Structure 1
Amino acid sequence: MHLPNQHPHQQESFGFHVWNGPLQPQHQAHAHTEIEWNFLLSGAARYFIAGRFQPLSVGRLALFWAAMPHRLIDAQPGSRMIWVTLPIAWLMQWNLGQRLIEPMLEGQLLTEPNTASDPCDHALLHRWTLDCSSASVHRRQAAILEAHARLHRFADALSADRSKQSLDHAGGDHIQRLTAFASTHFLDDIQVATIAQAAGLHPNYAMGLFKDGCGMSLWDYVTRLRIGHAQRLLLTTNHKITMVALHSGFNSPSRFYQAFQNIVGCTPTAYRQSVGQAGRSR
Structure 2
Amino acid sequence: MTFTKTTEQDSNYNHLEKMTINELLTHINNEDKSVPLAVEKAIPQIEALVAQIVPKLKNGGRLFYIGAGTSGRLGILDASECPPTFGVSHDLVVGLIAGGDTAIRKAVEFAEDSTSQGWKDLQHYNISKNDIVIGIAASGTTPYVIGALKQCNKEQITTGCITCNANSPLAQVSKYPIEVIVGPEFVTGSSRMKAGTAQKLILNMISTSTMIKLNKVKGNKMVDMQLSNDKLVDRGIKMLVKELDVSFEEAERLLKTYKNVRTAIEHYTNGNK
Q: What interval of TM-score do these two structures reach, taking the shorter chain for normalisation?
A: under 0.3
TM-score, length of structure 2 as denominator length: 0.24
Bigger-Rg structure (1/2)? 2
TM-score, length of structure 1 as denominator length: 0.24
